[in-house]
Structure 1
Amino acid sequence: MPQNIEKTEAVMTAAPVIPVLIVEDPAKAVPMAEALVRGGLPAIEITLRTPRALEAIRLVAENVEGAIPGAGTVLNEEQYEAALAAGSQFIVSPGATPALLDVADKHDVPLLPGAATASEVMYLLERGYSRLKFFPAEQAGGASYLKSLSSPLAGAKFCPTGGVTLDKAPDYLKLQNVLCVGGSWIADAKAIASDDWAGIEERARAAATLRG
């Protein structure tokens, strides 16, 4: 089936920023997510870059009211299925393969697949995917490059991720083909490790006001 636009947009428009997180210790996941939700950022992408990331997703899904937990850096069918079993409400991948899209087509939980070139966007549009992750955003050309895609590929809307900071986020968010941005500055590894929940909440509040 094609991408569920309604469900995907619900995640992408919940706030201007989706925090992209690397969680080493699942015990930190709940207070971290609570701080993000209090700050106004309900969609939370926990990347599958650590051995216990799925446990962290499960804890957020089961314990944090108002959170929309998702799994990032999903590369294959095994990870996709495991992320769903852990309670992920959305899936994010750095790119897209036919095999990954075939798995996504079997499920109602939305996939936000990555693309960095016009050809990759065209392929995803052919597969019925029009809400995409632009990755790696800064390294691939930044806001000016993404703006240049808006006319020839008008059907695609993006969440730029990769090198996006508080200072750079507004340049993306003002583009017509951008619905949100993904960023790690709100809750980086140091902040999580030091239990800086107040700082995370403060940065989340600032991010939540970037648009509108």
Structure 2
Amino acid sequence: MSAHPTLTPPAFTSRVVPVIVITDVAQAVPLAQALLDGGVDVMEITLRHAAGLPAIEAVARAVPQMHVGAGTVTRADEVRRVKDAGASFALSPGMTDALVQAAFDAELPFMPGVMTPGEVMRARDHGFRLVKLFPAEQAGGLGMLKALGGPLGDMRFCPTGGVSVDNMGAFLRLPNVAMVGGSWLTPVALLEAGRWDEVTRLARAAMGIAADVASVAVTG
């Protein structure tokens, strides 16, 4: 029997997930293309701004090769809305029973947010094996993930919050880290200025670090 779609990890290949606050829908499509040009095939457009939902719809329609996800999904009614907009997955900073049920009902791949061992266990009880550690820095960062790896070794994490180009490699080297999320790839100032070439440069740099980590893992 195949896994429920909600529990199926998104199909993107990038181990770096840009966490994006879009304030103008016109930024969405060129941003998606700039990230793709840098090798990043996923973007988490958050619902922190009213432009988030129409931005998801714009990317899903115009850039089908981009895996666009909805971030900051915190209410059950938002799940159906982001799926209808074209999101291929959703993420949340936390987890409630209503939110999980809504994701199951919509059959939308979902990554709940956790911060404590108990929350990780609750997510596992729901059937999830990939969760978002948020806020990662405040939750204990690298030390917390190493500690969780023992008793909860069957869980995989996407740490977000405090992850940067300077420490992403250290996170990705942990065996229980599937990917990292962060906003450094898409600073608001670059988006507002339309500096898509700079976004591509940042994406390439991040992908280079991820590739180096993968290379060491294979040869080591």
Task: Give the TM bin, normalised by the shorter chain.
Answer: over 0.9
Contact 1:94 1:115 in 2 (8 A): yes
Q: SS at 1:178's partner residue? A: coil
Structure 1 position 10, deviation (Å): 2.4
Contact 2:6 2:103 in 1 (8 A): no
1:145-189 deviation per Cα after TM superposition (whole angstroms, max 9, x unaligned)? 111100100111000000110001111100010010001001111
Counting only pairs closer than 5 Å after superposition, residues 5-84 of structure 1 correspond to structure 2 as 7-11=8-12, 14-84=13-83
Equivalent residue, structure 1, for 2:218: none
2:203 aligned with 1:190? no
Greater helix fraction, Structure 1 or Structure 2:
2
Give the total of aligned pairs: 210
Structure 1 position 28, deviation (Å): 0.7
Structure 1 position 115, deviation (Å): 0.3
2:116 aligned with 1:117? yes
Equivalent residue, structure 1, for 2:209: 210
Structure 1 residues 153 and 4, CA, compared in 2 at 3 Å: closer, same or farther?
farther
1:107-144 deviation per Cα after TM superposition (whole angstroms, max 9, x unaligned)? 33200100010000001111111110010001111111
Equivalent residue, structure 2, for 1:89: 88
Q: SS at 2:181's partner residue? A: strand
Q: SS at 2:45's partner residue? A: strand
Equivalent residue, structure 1, for 2:131: 132
Alpha-carbon distance in structure 2 between the residues aligned to 1:16 and 1:87: 22
1:36-89 deviation per Cα after TM superposition (whole angstroms, max 9, x unaligned)? 011111110000000121000000000014200010000112111110111000
Q: Which segments of 5 or more consecutive residues in structure 2 lack a partner in the other structure?
A: 215-220
Q: Which segments of 5 or more consecutive residues in structure 1 lack a partner in the other structure?
A: none
Q: Percent identity?
A: 40
How high is the TM-score relative to the length of structure 1?
0.95
Contact 2:7 2:109 in 1 (8 A): no
> Relative contact order (C-alpha < 8 Å, sep 6+): which is higher?
1
Tell me how large the CA RMSD over aligned residues is: 1.6
Alpha-carbon distance in structure 2 between the residues aligned to 1:177 and 1:200: 28
Alpha-carbon distance in structure 2 between the residues aligned to 1:60 and 1:141: 34
Contact 1:74 1:80 in 2 (8 A): yes
Alpha-carbon distance in structure 2 between the residues aligned to 1:3 and 1:167: 36
Equivalent residue, structure 2, for 1:105: 104
Q: SS at 1:139's partner residue? A: helix
Q: SS at 1:80's partner residue? A: helix
